[in-house]
Structure 1
Amino acid sequence: MPERKPHILIEGFADREDFSSRRRGRNPVIPLQDRHQHGQSISGQYASVIQSYDARRAQAPPPITEDVGIYVEIVGMPDCELPLDSLDTSRDFKLRSCRKVDDHEVAVIFVPDSRRGIFQGKLEQYLDPDKDGKGGPRNHNLVDSIAEIKLADLQSFWTDASGLFPQDEDQVVWWELWLKKQPGVEEPLHILLQLAERIGAQLGNTSLTFFDSTVVLIRTSARQLSPAPELIANLEELRRAKETPNVLLRSSPKEQYQWVEDLNGRVQLNADISTAITILDTGVNYNHPVIGNFCNEESAERWDPTWPRYDNHDPTNAFAPYNDHGSKQAGLAVFGDLHEALMSHDPIVVDHRIESARILPPTGNNDPELYGAITVRTAEKLAIDRPDWKRVYSLAITSEPEALGGQPSSWSAEIDDFSFAMDEAESRLFVISAGNNAHVAPQPDCWDQVNLAQIEDPAQSWNALTVGAYTERTTNDDADFDGWSPLAGFGDVAPSSRSAVSWGWRKHAPYKPDVVEEGGNRLLSPDSTEVTAADVVSLLTTSGKTTGQLFEANGDTSAACALVSRQAAILMAEYPDYWPETIRALIVHSAEWTTRMSERLGLLYGQHSQKLAKETVLRTVGHGVPDLERARYSANHALTLIAQDELQPFFKEPDASASVDPKLHEMQLYQLPWPIEVLQQLPPELEVKLRVTLSYFIEPNPGRRGYRRRYSYQSHGLRFEVIRPGQTLANFRAFINQRANEETEDYSGPEGDNEGWKLGSQLRTRGSLHSDTWTGSAASLADMHTIAVYPVGGWWKYRTALDRWQNSVRFSLIVSIDVPDENVDIYSVVETQIETQVEIEV
């Protein structure tokens, strides 16, 4: 085995420079309508809205909020984007939500009473030829994009699937109610208390707060809630309240393999441990003779103080509550597959502990709560006594996906917010399972079944590391299943996994899962009519029992989530100075597609374009299977450089008015210490690899207002670009940066060859984690020593309240060079260059 070497954390190899994007967005094309006919129609509809509102207002009780106005529903033309900027101005109109209904966009806007004439004035300008500009009728983009205007009702605020809206107006249900936060205006929760009292509704016990929204639960009927648009001016949207999340357990008892005493005798636990995996689940039995080494009562919390910290198994009472899913997760999070640890005779060194955060009740369901609040606030309890510990938050509890798969929910957004940690010194790392397909069938092919099973909530979280499952468990030596065969082949996606292939929101959503890990297999009956989850193709872990059966089987994406959580904790303990963004990046950076996954890609090439084929694999198995050894260490011939840095994405000119949007601000240009001479001396036919991964966290904006430009979900975005072989530095800067382009008068396009990238710059840009691999000659790699990290837009750029645009953001950039010849030493060459640079600076 090559000598293990620590990764190299670099500083001082980046130059900050002013930045302006060369890329220009395209404005939506809005077809011209018949001016007179269309303008008169829309004008008549708007007049009818005003008349209906005035009649309704005369019968309504006094409003709760000081701001009084009309909620208007605007239906766009088919296959035409509404100009949301024109529907959300500082004084006239306030966009509350935007959703897609069939091929129409539907927006809800609030028009203050004092500004109701403004829209009519725009219509009059549109109809007046004397007001025409170069592009045609004035306000053409706004008016011609509108198919219909009507007075909003309760269903206008519904942004979930239409079929989920209560059909019985008198059915009392829990609603997720989203309220607009406005600086200097009465707190939304106080307004909600008055609303609940006025309509006779029950409020939930939790709330969530985002940048400009407050989310609460309210129990009432549609009929009772229907006056809300007349009573409050800050209603944004309504969604379905989450059902209790499903814990999909597919395991059965397994005969014990070894004595616990033998295992405990070989465990070496560092007494100075300050790294933990916080398991958010059903509770961990810290009295289990194995788990007790890593967890205790002080490390166990629960959402409801009246709950037991875990369920005791009572063999005399078959009806006693008992769910040991959390304990099974704990065993895998400590040891990985416990079978390997039990069969070994070597010492087992563990540098992390387990914390138990119970978020599910012992019996029945939670009272309706916002699961984002349950998840985060239970986790926060454990940080009170140990605030300096580094933690991996491991969540294998999921619920049905959003109605539009991949779209943010209050749960996933709260995890993103907690991870980003806007007002705190340290960000946080969540590892979340993709959820399990509970209906694995003998046919069709397991790959196709996974493609149809959507990743569950909250695993669409942008900042979390989402884990799906693959399998290498294809051996069946169980006599009880003689003749049964593995359903999935070696190295293929696990039958129980889920994917983002069929997400409806995939245009905006990140690629998920990020990686896959071992999740076990299924066995197929000899006649191909039955599928079973057998112990022989599962993983071994700890049970939740204190005596008797101490080991059990576990599998699916829950097991995969625990395995990746373990890898993250090992990396945190190994490199305590690495940020959570860096740990996430290292795991993805080390991941590779298996041979079988690459074969799947080849098959897809025959059915789709290369871009769609690659995207399908990314949304099924992510970047592949992590390699903990590669994530943890470099070697002489396999070097990893890590930069933990920051930049300020946006800025405003000192004399700019408050209404002017900030501009893109700066980029980082890395000219890395590079083993140029060594690479140039290698045989020209030798293929080498370069891998680049960029990781950062975003602040979420989960209100459903179209997710375009100023309404985007992410606060900001970052991108990386690598200099091409044969490209000069001046040409590279001009290619990336408009400001550098202006300095280079003869710039006519990028120089050099950009072939060799696995994904390419168009495919690797989704989400907040971007990774790609280049393969080519060593001579070409010798030229690829410069990397730019630069910003793109986000809602911070367009929504300037609270001056979010002034913030700097952190990012981690990981760059690896892999030479297949282990006798080649590039590590020492780069290490010497860095030492020399440090000496020069000193």
Structure 2
Amino acid sequence: MREGLPHIVLSGFNEKEKFRSKSIGRNPEIPIQDRHSHGVGILTSYNEAISQGNSRKQATVSITSESGIYLEVISVPSCQLQLDSLDTTKSYSLKSLHIEGDREIAVIFVPDNKRQDFSNKLVAYLNPEKDVINKKTSIASPKNRKLIDSIEQIRLASLRSFWTDKPSTYPRNDQEIIWWEVWVNWSDKAGTPLEIANNLAERIGAETTQSYLTFFKTAVFLIKCSAEQLQSAPELIGNLSELRRAQASPNISITLGATDQHELATNLHQRTTFTTSSKTSVCILDTGINYNNPLLSLTCSRDKSDCWDASWQHFDMYGSGTAYNDHGSRQAGLVLYGLELQELLFSNGSFIAPYHIESARIFPQVGVNDPKLYGAVTVDTANKIEITNPDWNRVYSMAVTAEPSGPTGYPSSWSAEIDYFTSGYQDEKQRLFIISAGNNQTLTPHTDYWDQVNLSEIEDPAQSWNALTVGACTFLTTIDDPTFNNWSAFAHPGDISPSSRSSLQWAWRKQAPYKPEVVAEGGNRLLSPNRQELSDADCVSLLTTSGRSSGLLLETTKDTSAASGIVSRDAGILTSEYPNFWPETIRGLMVHSANWTNQMFSRYGLLQKEHNSTTAKETMLRTVGHGVIDIDKARHSADNLLTLISQEQIQPFTKDPGKESKATDAKLNEMMLYELPWPIEILQSLQDTNVKLKVTLSYFIEPNPGRKGYRSRYSYQSHGLRFEVIRPEQSLPNFKKFVNGLTTEDGEDYSGPEGDNSGWHFGPQLRKRGSIHSDYWQGDAAQLAKMNYIAVYPVGGWWKYKTSGESWRKNARFSLIVTIEAPEEVSDVAVDIYTPVQTLVDLSVSV
């Protein structure tokens, strides 16, 4: 059997078709209120709020050009507010939305000259002569009923109204001094947000910084003051959107200790070959890398290093008498050597380094950064690195996380800036970011490690949609250190690493991506004989490079930092081997190749007994993701393992001719239909043989970071994509009708999809979270022979709506990866599904 074959990249075998969604969204019912008492009550509360606002505004003069009043609109219990009606742009605008208990609370801005507009809606609601007749039922209902009946109360907004972080993180008293993240609506035409920041700071006697972030229609800056000082901000700033607590210093997990000899490192250095002409790099955003360590010096150098602050040293010097933190150097060793360093040190074989390592220092030598926005620090440093070699293909690796201050799973300024940077919004250059999930620092021997992982929530900024988030698993259970006689491994081999984190308890779990997407070796813990103590001994940690230039050049490391280093190495290998593959494709290949270990499948079996199958699968996805990457499968195909790759783009949204310039929402536009080159005859000959089909769809989104609830039109993602595969017994016309709403408009009967859709592991409902969707089907080869049609189609996002300006015109890139896996032999005959497909593709190219 041939192995190591290149993946087959498809050109063609698809066509675009006009598209309309078939799904019909359902919103919770809005209770019918007593028109008079409810309407009068809401109108009274509205007028009282306006009157209170007038009294408060008399003593202030607005900093911004627009002057108005902020109001809180509170929903009736268990009911969604009508966000579309609360954000009319011309009259009043929605600033934020959060949930308290069973109520939604929206903050809206009402300009001074538009106050009557909302009153008019209430007056129309109360007037029976304005009733609206339902055409289907002929029943009359008050005008604006859904909007008004969903509201329980309107009141003047306070400073706390703009708080979108965890309620418990709000200042304990009005005099407590903290750094605030101030979020404002913004546009490029408005100039720099620093003008507002400086004016606000001067007016209220606060401190500010010269750092800020800008997103799509959003800017963020920092103010240091008390709540008492900031109380007047809603009256001073007419475009205030939300307030959050500025992020605390990120928590880096570091294991000290070293075990090895300088001679081994020097010998390996002499056996290492590096191609200086390589245009692939893994850039490590961390504490800096000691490129003078002989194990790192061939791939990293001063010319490949930079710092966020130009006055910082590139790395900390051991024994210099100042602080020493070599976390970045330890990451570099894993990125370069992975799990092979021990074997390489004690062998005589050669080692080839296929990519550069770049060092981007984002931490100072002493103390922590000023509370500047970590998104700006991260991306500004990455931009510095790109200046020297702008044409390199880079993988960004960051094992730095912080405990989230806001609702877990929600985008933060940090994670949103990474999404913004990776999406290519500013320069049309997409980038691959790999981030560790964060570590549980409070492990206890008294609780099952699986439960501890499930209760430890993934940290900021690893909730980034575009980044590949890495958790930790472990196979390290051997105890060869006599110091730990009679101790035992805490985690079973092939299971989650005890210190890893999950997204199972995220507050935003229903909408957030599955995180981590993959796991890698992160070391284990040892449990004492009396089961009262845990140890992170060297024997269950990973060997790597230290931050020293001589002497003890090796160190140990562990946890999700180590795991993200290993996955970054996989990404570097793939990027160097396939320089024309998009970052979306590299990310997709790694997830596509990943599988659960036997121990993970055992966990899944236990969860199925305790819960239903859907809950068990989601628990696994939010704990171990898609499992452990198989780098060989990610790199190459084989005779019995065929991988097809398509890099394409569609325009998800459009407007009708003549309406392009009107302030109306766009509509869904087109889909891509694939008729894949399929080894039909070979598959048919393998009847009664079990085979596997795996499909992965990978794309990047543009973020909309403001916390407006992230539902309906206010979604975080710019767009979404989905895939569907034709069923074994489904005709092509029926498949098109099943996927595309336009195909059922020809008058022909459609009673639902034909054929059986069983065999998929996750299914279309579970696989739809985030911006990477992966699933696999197992069944008879003769059935798979009929499954060669795949549709990729769009779903909604903020690009679609009129508030996005011209974003509806944009194209969306995606990578579709499809693999067929068959046994190597059937009845002692070698199986070759690769050659017939390669022949079909070559013939298509020649034609």
1:138 aligns with: 143
CA–CA separation in structure 1 for the residues paired with 2:573 and 2:795: 33
8 Å CA contact 1:250–1:556 kept in 2: the answer is: no
8 Å CA contact 2:262–2:552 kept in 1: the answer is: no
In the alignment, structure 1 residue 336 sits paired with structure 2 residue 338: yes
1:26 aligns with: 26
CA–CA separation in structure 2 for the residues paired with 1:260 and 1:601: 42
What whole-Å deviation, never above 9, does each CA across 1:778-831 have from its counterpart, x for those lacking one? 000000101000000000101444300000011000000000125211111000
Q: 1:132 Cα shift? A: 2.1
CA–CA separation in structure 2 for the residues paired with 1:47 and 1:259: 79
1:505 aligns with: 508
In the alignment, structure 1 residue 515 sits paired with structure 2 residue 554: no
1:179 aligns with: 184
Aligned with residue 668 of structure 2, among 659, 664, 686: 664
1:296 aligns with: 301
In the alignment, structure 1 residue 537 sits paired with structure 2 residue 544: no
Task: Classify the secondary structure of the residue corresponding to 2:610.
Answer: coil
Structure 1 unmatched runs, 5+: none
Q: 1:341 Cα shift? A: 2.1
8 Å CA contact 2:193–2:212 kept in 1: the answer is: no
2:327 aligns with: 325
1:420 aligns with: 423
Task: Classify the secondary structure of the residue corresponding to 2:757.
Answer: coil
What whole-Å deviation, never above 9, does each CA across 1:205-256 have from its counterpart, x for those lacking one? 2111100100111112211111111112100000000111010113432244
8 Å CA contact 1:181–1:187 kept in 2: the answer is: no
Give the partner amino acid of 2:669.
H
Q: 1:510 to 1:549 in 2, by over 3 A?
A: same
Q: 1:131 Cα shift? A: 2.1
Q: 1:195 Cα shift? A: 1.9
CA–CA separation in structure 2 for the residues paired with 1:733 and 1:595: 38
Deviates more, 1:115-124 or 1:377-386: 115-124
Give 4+ residue runs of structure 1 displaced > 3 Å after superposition.
182-189, 255-258, 799-802
Q: 1:129 Cα shift? A: 2.3
Q: 1:257 to 1:734 in 2, by over 3 A?
A: farther
CA–CA separation in structure 2 for the residues paired with 1:501 and 1:577: 36
Question: What is the TM-score normalised by the length of structure 1?
Answer: 0.98
CA–CA separation in structure 2 for the residues paired with 1:120 and 1:749: 47
CA–CA separation in structure 2 for the residues paired with 1:573 and 1:275: 5
8 Å CA contact 1:734–1:742 kept in 2: the answer is: no
1:675 aligns with: 679
Task: Classify the secondary structure of the residue corresponding to 1:55.
Answer: helix
Q: CA RMSD in A?
A: 1.4
1:43 aligns with: 43
In the alignment, structure 1 residue 284 sits paired with structure 2 residue 289: yes
Q: 1:122 Cα shift? A: 1.3
What whole-Å deviation, never above 9, does each CA across 1:482-541 have from its counterpart, x for those lacking one? 000000001000001000001010011000000000000000001111001000011100
1:720 aligns with: 723
8 Å CA contact 1:434–1:498 kept in 2: the answer is: yes
Q: 1:183 Cα shift? A: 6.7
1:745 aligns with: 748
CA–CA separation in structure 2 for the residues paired with 1:312 and 1:794: 48
8 Å CA contact 1:251–1:555 kept in 2: the answer is: no
Q: 1:186 Cα shift? A: 6.0
1:210 aligns with: 215
8 Å CA contact 1:251–1:533 kept in 2: the answer is: no
Give the partner amino acid of 2:333.
G
2:403 aligns with: 400
Deviates more, 1:509-518 or 1:707-716: 707-716
CA–CA separation in structure 1 for the residues paired with 2:262 and 2:761: 43
Deviates more, 1:409-418 or 1:112-121: 112-121
Q: Percent identity?
A: 54
In the alignment, structure 1 residue 772 sits paired with structure 2 residue 771: no
CA–CA separation in structure 1 for the residues paired with 2:405 and 2:577: 37
1:590 aligns with: 593
CA–CA separation in structure 1 for the residues paired with 2:663 and 2:27: 21
What whole-Å deviation, never above 9, does each CA across 1:584-630 have from its counterpart, x for those lacking one? 00000000000011111111111111111100000000000000000
2:137 aligns with: none
Q: 1:199 to 1:75 in 2, by over 3 A?
A: same
2:469 aligns with: 466
Q: Residues 44-193 of structure 1: matches in 2 within 5 Å?
A: 44-58=44-58, 60-133=59-132, 134=134, 136-182=141-187, 185=190, 187-193=192-198
In the alignment, structure 1 residue 824 sits paired with structure 2 residue 831: yes
Task: Classify the secondary structure of the residue corresponding to 2:16.
Answer: strand
CA–CA separation in structure 2 for the residues paired with 1:742 and 1:181: 42
Q: 1:185 Cα shift? A: 4.8
Structure 2 unmatched runs, 5+: 135-139
CA–CA separation in structure 1 for the residues paired with 2:438 and 2:470: 9
Count of residue correspondences: 835
Question: What is the TM-score normalised by the length of structure 2?
Answer: 0.97
CA–CA separation in structure 2 for the residues paired with 1:169 and 1:314: 45
Q: 1:398 to 1:654 in 2, by over 3 A?
A: same
Give the partner amino acid of 2:75.
G
CA–CA separation in structure 1 for the residues paired with 2:691 and 2:307: 50
In the alignment, structure 1 residue 630 sits paired with structure 2 residue 633: yes
Q: 1:62 Cα shift? A: 1.9
Task: Classify the secondary structure of the residue corresponding to 1:219.
Answer: strand
Aligned with residue 791 of structure 2, among 782, 788, 793: 788
Q: 1:824 to 1:179 in 2, by over 3 A?
A: same
8 Å CA contact 2:164–2:406 kept in 1: the answer is: no
What whole-Å deviation, never above 9, does each CA across 1:428-481 have from its counterpart, x for those lacking one? 000000001111111211111000000000000000000000000011111000
Q: 1:258 Cα shift? A: 6.2
CA–CA separation in structure 2 for the residues paired with 1:564 and 1:483: 33
Give the partner amino acid of 1:93.
Y
Q: Residues 303-322 of structure 1: matches in 2 within 5 Å?
A: 303-314=308-319, 317=321, 320-322=322-324
Give the partner amino acid of 2:70.
Y
Task: Classify the secondary structure of the residue corresponding to 1:120.
Answer: helix
Give the partner amino acid of 1:303.
W
Q: 1:257 Cα shift? A: 9.0
Q: 1:575 Cα shift? A: 0.4
Q: 1:490 to 1:730 in 2, by over 3 A?
A: same
Q: Residues 254-653 of structure 1: matches in 2 within 5 Å?
A: 254-256=259-261, 259-314=264-319, 317=321, 320-337=322-339, 338-653=341-656
Deviates more, 1:119-128 or 1:109-118: 119-128
8 Å CA contact 2:260–2:553 kept in 1: the answer is: no
Q: 1:314 to 1:184 in 2, by over 3 A?
A: closer
CA–CA separation in structure 2 for the residues paired with 1:708 and 1:421: 24
Aligned with residue 242 of structure 1, among 227, 244, 247: 247
CA–CA separation in structure 1 for the residues paired with 2:399 and 2:420: 19
Give the partner amino acid of 2:4.
R
Q: 1:187 Cα shift? A: 5.0
Task: Classify the secondary structure of the residue corresponding to 1:293.
Answer: coil
8 Å CA contact 1:667–1:790 kept in 2: the answer is: yes
Task: Classify the secondary structure of the residue corresponding to 1:384.
Answer: helix
2:812 aligns with: 809
CA–CA separation in structure 1 for the residues paired with 2:646 and 2:447: 45
In the alignment, structure 1 residue 7 sits paired with structure 2 residue 7: yes
